[in-house]
Structure 1
Amino acid sequence: MSSAKPVRVCIVGAGASGMSAAYALSQHPEKFQVTVFDKAPETGGMATSIDIDADKFGAAYINDGVQGCSPVFANTLRMFRMLGFEATEVGMQISFGKGDDFWTNVYPTSLVTQFKGDIAKFGRALSVIKTFEPVFALVPVHAMLKLFRFSDDFGEKMVYPLVALFFGTGNQTPYVSCAILERVFKDPSMRLFEYDQKSLLASIPTMLAFPKLHDVYQGWQSEIASRGNVTFKLNHEVLRVVSRSSKKQGTVQIEYKISDGEIETHPQSADFDELILAVDADSALKLLGKEASWMEKKVLGSVKYLHDVTITHYDLEYMQKFYETYYNPSHNAPLPNSISTKERQDTERAFEFASKNFRPLYYTMQYRQDKSKIEMSFDLTHYQPQFRGEKPAGPIEITDTSKHRNECRPVLDITREAQDASKGQAGESAHTGKDAQGRPEPPLDKHVFQTIFLDRDGSQHLWTWKDIKPEKKIYEKWWKQQSHRWQHYAKVVPWMMWINGKNHTHYAGAWSLLNMHELAVTSGFAAAYRLGADYPFHGDEECERLFRLYLAASHGVRMRKRDRKGVLA
């Protein structure tokens, strides 16, 4: 038996990436001793839940910051299922624009007919981009639209809103890499929508709404800590990395303080062998300070962040002023005599469906002063299943152990509580309306909406946030997000492999590639894997496909020889 001491690992950040790294390392209690620092009082990072008035709004909480995912996000969904939590299927209906600029994926509108030539050409453009992806990775969307000679209106009214929907790009949509746009249509691990040559978006894709994220992350923390080799230090803010080349107590030395309410300690120090920075690039660079290498300064400093504000509210008048919230037959696409009988019947069926089932989850609105810039909103009551009586754990039962469900044993107390059917009954008295399937839900004037105002520094003069009635506001949250500008794929993504693993430091976070919860989870697994941990879902091809891609792109390595099959694996 080996007498080697466990490797002491410091993880800064307890969001999706930090938790994934901690989980993978926790599987090897004999090899690793891990400490997770986060200045917040709870794990989860951006994936948080907030309490709301159940009697007024028909649910006791909302998920805030992260709403859901595509069904192809295999690593995220498997991790949640193992913990005893299940995402809920929901049809992702969108409502883009207002009045003559309105279009949707629910039924064909006049705007879709207007751009039928551009829409058909868009599919051909996606194929070209896929073929020459390394080149197009450096081409921004606005340049791609000019290159393929799309009309300006098509770009502003259809393409830019789609890009913003995919990435929440902080009103930087014209500058996003067009290769990434192609990925969300074509890549099996990232695909969100299916392209349609007539309507741009093919029908209504199935999306997944997350269970209560607060409970998921509390359960995840308990599962990680249960093996005894991971310690969580919440309300502990890491102030700086003092050294990564010390020869005394440990190679990595950090300085931190405890901040819990009004209690705050003087800076303290701790020593480790390895460091995982599971925080945004700005924060990582600030923590490294003078310890940052020239390459780290160049790469981390090239990640551009934008400041946004999310206002959670129930101001239906505001929503109806700026968005199309209900089916209006005046927007129907014309039915010329030249179309086939089948096409006419299909279109009329779409109109009939929309008249009974139009329930948008996502909204976007272009500012009239600058149509390349938009505002985004969600109808959380349509999106999140607790407003229709689903329990916090989602549609899952303790007895269900199929496909890795409830795999973590013994079942956690928080999992049992979240799976209690009675937890889904909160706010039943407010369910005086019905959804398209006839299930009780709150009426539209009691719906909870979220409106995101993007890019404070470049767009605040356009914001309509003052139109939201103060008495209708529930919660206001400022946050920052990365921009997926083409420069990100020139100055950051290709160079991550040159800083990952150097100076006893690994980086984890979706910012290293693409802003998705799934990539945050995968990045954490990759950092732990580089330190010698196993990939937790080895052998699960749906999960492993993205892991291999990320490991190659961000770390410049393949899986270990014993973990791969075939020369190209």
Structure 2
Amino acid sequence: MLKKVAIIGAGAAGMSCAATLAKHPEFAVTLIDIDSHTGGQATSIPLDQSTHGASSLNDGVQGGSQIFRHTFQFFRRYGYEPQPVKLQVAFGKGRNFWTNVFPNALVDQHSAEIKKLLRVLTCVKYLMPILGIMPVKTILRLFRFSADFSNQMVLQLLALFLGTGNQTPNVSSVLLERLFNDPQMKLWEYDPDTLLPNLPLMYTFPNLNNFYRDLAAGLRVKGVDIRLNCNVTIVERGKKGVVLQLQDHEEGQSTGQPSTETFDDLVICCPADESKNLLGQNATWREKYVLGGVKFFNDLTITHSDSNYFRQIFESVYDPKLCAKPTTQERKNQIAFAEQEPRSQKDGWLGFRPMYYMHSYVSDSTKIEMGFNCSNYQHQFREELGENKPPLPQDQHVLQTIFLNDQEKDLWTWDAIDPSKIISYVIDPFLAI
């Protein structure tokens, strides 16, 4: 007898769950989502290729590291290949600038603290029940790291790792330890000299709209009933199963009459606050406790081509004044790499072409603004140019600026972005535990 399973949410988690259950013939899977597309926040937007050098952009999810092997398996199963890219970052501005591309003063200044942090992470690993649950900000104060090192380097790098924005200081310190030391979680090796290693390998994703379209088609062939533009308004659990009230939903409006359907099991692949609301009074005390322990804050992501704004906020072009002394051959080689005229490569760029950007606000160094140069990062821009070609002019690049937590929007500088150069914008909730 078939077991009817409903999955609420057709984002990455819901699609993965449906794909796993579809392998087993004893399950009849129904996948439900209020949106008109699968993939959740993993979306692509069209671009004017004649202006920006590519016809599309992955705007919600940029890429990942080699630990994303299960994601890569899904891509390859449907004929898509993740593409390698050597990571370049540019954090801070002026005296607070640092990068993993060439030696710089801030990294040299905090050399002793970088080595010390590696020892502290070892302590966290072996004293996890005590130290691991402490917030990162507490560990940094407890072991007397300087505020400059904590705010300009550690917290910014962890925000890049986790995407936790201005809530990063409240993240449990065990996550910082695991992201450097756990073979299943770490993105890169910890570099005891520079914190972030020089040009580590990352991967960019294929066109995510196309991938999730093909994945959805493949799931339908396997018998998965995918219902988009469908909202779950009520969840009732009882001895005979789970009863869902379903409502058609298009363009933000409910349409038609609601209906009910009974399933044997339910998997909720939604954010914690949505899951708690769905369960309502039927939630157990454990569910209320766990789901209620997550807070969400709204970010504003603006995709644009205002390179003047980017240059004012970040160090986006190579400046020899930012280099530290070339005291070793390795440092000389890194400077020589950064000084090159930029040229496209299969795995990134020759020359200083940062992809990830971050800086602290002058008025509050514990708060940050994030940015991406998508033209430097995503592989389709290099592929269209061809190998060993110079980049397009800066004012044709596709950039993203992420303003964190709308409760602190008095810090935001979004009104300085030229409105005529905005490609798209979206408000995204991000979570902090």
TM-score normalised by length of structure 1: 0.72
Higher strand share: 2
Please say if 1:351 is aligned against 2:346: no
Deviation at 1:136, TM superposition (A): 2.6
**Is residue 2:101 matched to residue 1:101?**
no
1:482 aligns with 2:431: yes
- Check whether the contact 1:98–1:324 (CA below 8 A) recurs between aligned residues: yes
3-state SS in 2 of match to 1:196: coil
The C-alpha deviation readout for 1:144-194, integer Å capped at 9, x for no partner, is: 111211111110111111011111213012111111011111111211122
Greater relative contact order (Cα < 8 A, sep 6+)? 1
1:447 aligns with 2:397: yes
Q: Which residue is 1:321 aligned to?
A: 312
Could you tell me which runs of 5 or more consecutive residues in structure 2 were left unpaired when the two chains were aligned. 341-350
Contact 2:135/2:172 (<8 A) preserved: yes
CA distance in 2, matches of 1:234, 1:137: 41
Question: What SS class does the counterpart of residue 267 from structure 1 fall into?
Answer: strand
| Deviation (angstroms), 1:345 | 2.1
Matched, 1:6 2:2: yes
Deviation at 1:235? Answer: 0.5
Contact 1:388-1:440 within 8 A present in 2 as well: no
Q: Distance in 2 between matches of 1:134 and 1:291?
A: 33
Q: For residues 54-91 of structure 1, what are the alpha-carbon distances to aligned partners after superposition, in whole Å with 9 as ceiling and x for unaligned?
A: 11111111001111111121111111111111100001
Partner residue, 1:201: 196
For residue 409 of structure 2, what is the aligned residue in structure 1? 460
Q: State which of 327, 350, 371 in structure 2 corresponds to 1:377.
A: 371
Q: How does 1:91-130 map to 2 (within 5 A)?
A: 91-130=86-125
Q: Percent identity?
A: 43
What amino acid maps onto 1:349 in structure 2?
N
* TM-superposition CA deviations, 1:92-132 (whole Å, max 9, x none): 10000000100000111011111111111111112111222
User: Of the candidates 356, 361, 367, which is equivalent to residue 367 of structure 1?
Assistant: 361
Which letter does structure 2 place at the counterpart of 1:467? A
The CA distance in 2 between the partners of 1:73 and 1:227, in whole Å, is: 25
1:142–1:174 contact (8 Å) kept in structure 2: yes
Once residues 194 and 122 of structure 1 are traced to their aligned partners in structure 2, the CA distance between those partners, rounded to angstroms, is 14
Long gaps (5+) in structure 1: 336-342, 390-427, 489-569
**1:112–1:333: 8 Å Cα contact kept in structure 2?**
no
**Match in the other structure for 1:258:** 248
State the match for 1:19 in structure 2: 15
For 1:352, the aligned partner's letter is A
Q: Secondary structure at the residue paired with 1:265?
A: strand
Is 1:236 the equivalent of 2:230?
yes
The Cα of 1:467 is off from its aligned counterpart by 0.7
SS in 2 for 1:171: helix
* 1:234-313 → structure 2 map (5 Å cutoff): 234-241=228-235, 243-247=236-240, 251-261=241-251, 264-313=255-304
Name the SS for the 1:244 alignment partner. strand
Contact preservation (8 Å) 1:73, 1:190:
no
Distance (Å, rounded) in 2 between the aligned partners of 1:369 and 1:258: 47
Q: Secondary structure at the match of 2:238?
A: coil
1:237 Cα deviation (Å)? 0.9
Find the counterpart in structure 2 of residue 176 from structure 1.
171
In 2, are the aligned partners of 1:185 and 1:194 still within 8 Å (CA)? yes
Q: Please tell me whether residue 50 in structure 1 is matched to residue 74 in structure 2.
A: no
In the alignment of these two chains, the number of paired residues is: 422
Judge conservation of contact 1:14–1:278 (CA < 8 Å) in 2. Answer: yes
- Residue 220 of structure 2 corresponds to which residue in structure 1? 225
Question: In 2, distance between residues paired with 1:355 and 1:245?
Answer: 67
The residue identity in structure 1 corresponding to 2:4 is R
Asked whether the 8 Å contact 1:9–1:276 carries over to 2, the reply is: yes
Tell me, what secondary structure is at the counterpart of 2:328?
A: helix
In the alignment, is residue 473 of structure 1 matched against residue 392 of structure 2? no
**8 Å contact 2:125–2:132 — kept in the other structure?**
no
SS at match of 2:165: coil
Q: Is the 8 A contact 1:39 1:237 kept in 2?
A: yes
**Range with bigger deviation, 273-282 or 345-354:** 345-354
Distance change (3 Å), C-alpha of 1:170 and 1:265: farther
Task: Measure, in 1, the Cα distance between the counterparts of 2:283 and 2:254.
Answer: 31
Cα deviations across residues 189-243 of structure 1 (Å, max 9, x unaligned)? 2111221222111211100000000111111111111122x100001011120x2
Determine the C-alpha separation between the residues in 2 that align with 1:271 and 1:440: 59
Name which of structure 1's ranges 115-124 and 317-326 shifts more when overlaid on structure 2: 115-124
